[in-house]
Amino acid sequence: MLAHMYPFSCGDAMYSKSKRRMTKTKLTSHSSTDSVGSGSSSSSSLHGFTSSASSTPRHLGIASKSACGRRKAMEDMTSTLIIHGMQYAGVFDGHGGTEVATECLKMGAKVRDLLDAGYTSHALALEQGIRSVEANHAYIGSTATVALVSDDMITVANVGDSMAYLLRGQKTIALTEAHKPSNESERARVLGLGGHITKGRVQGVLAMTRALGDCALRPFVSCDPEVREIARSHEDRALVLATDGLWDVLSPLEVMAVVERVLLSNNCANADECASACASLLVSLALERQTMDNVSVVVLTFGGASPSAARSF
């Protein structure tokens, strides 16, 4: 009955991904301007929700890049903001319309307000920031994957299938899990509530098990975020947040191989330029592989020494 409300396959993968080994690590659970992500705007100063009052934290580069891909409309959004000397970044993949994804652009300011009000937990601030989004739409929704990077901690919160991965040394570390019916714990939650999954879709409608909005699919589609924290390491080299338009056609290891090659090229004048080169190349590769979805990428690059030798690709 509701399938006609979702004429596209939110969360579906075009390429079947081979199973690859990735490192698992222990995870614990201000003025600005904004613009709608569209076309192929790029860089942190041109795309999304960006800080105009503070500089990027020392040794940290950041850039974003988006493309509409084969969709008729652009429904992705990205956001970057400096909060209390920390870098905030987010990617939001709207479906059924841009209303909820647009509301997500306010999330960074909400996180800042919470920290201004005395919140000391970055994890709680991100969680409450996600919960603050006004998304009372029956058949319109969005993913939300946001990160807050301080000098000693990386905190990530997510709802949906936009993902975040960290390049630490030569290891690729997943900081999120995709909230999809193929995720066994998510599938069990949906079925345990009396819902059903038909052709990979919750209630036969949505190819995600968590999203902001989509109120008609509650409680089977949850809006509860998962939050993880990981201590910073001197080996941290890059953090990539992206909508599924990237992950559908590039595996996390492929993404980080691209990032590593850029970082080792020594062709960047500064950290922001490196981040911009990474983001641009990743979006170009997704388009070359004929991603069927909008694709948006935010790349953060960390200062520090690179490995002495590049690995083979």
Q: Give residue-wise pLDDT tens across range 211-237.
A: 999 999 999 999 999 999 999 999 999
Q: How many residues are present in the chain?
A: 313
Candidates 218, 216, 246; CA nearest to 96 is 216
Q: Are the C-beta atoms of residues 268 and 274 closer than 8 Å to each other?
A: yes
d(CA 98, CA 222): 19
pLDDT at 34 over 60: no
Q: Give residue-wise pLDDT tens across range 16-26.
A: 333 334 444 33
pLDDT for position 56: 58
Per the prediction, the chain carries an average pLDDT of: 83
pLDDT at 12 over 80: no
Say which residue the tokens 């590593």 belong to: 260
pLDDT at 47 over 70: no
pLDDT at 188 over 70: yes
- Indicate the range of 20-24, 112-116, 258-262, 299-303 predicted with least confidence: 20-24
**Residue range 71-78: average pLDDT?**
95
CATH class of the domain at 30-176+234-302: alpha beta
Query: Cα angle at 282 between 280 and 283, to 5 degrees?
Result: 65
pLDDT for position 173: 98
> Which has more pLDDT, 8 or 271?
271
Establish how many alpha carbons lie within 13 A of residue 125's alpha carbon, considering only the half-sphere containing its beta carbon.
24
Q: Would you state the torsion angle of the CA atoms of residues 77, 270, 157, 281, taken in this order, to the nearest 10 degrees?
A: 50
Q: Give residue-wise pLDDT tens across range 136-170.
A: 999 999 999 999 999 999 999 999 999 999 999 99
Residue 169: C-alpha distances to residues 15, 24, 203 (Å): 27, 14, 42
The percentage of residues in the chain with a pLDDT greater than 90, rounded to a whole number, is 75
pLDDT for position 57: 64
pLDDT at 172 over 60: yes
pLDDT for position 269: 86
Q: How far apart are the first and last CA of the chain?
A: 47
Per-residue confidence at 266, pLDDT binned at 50, 70, 90?
A: confident
d(CA 215, CA 219): 8
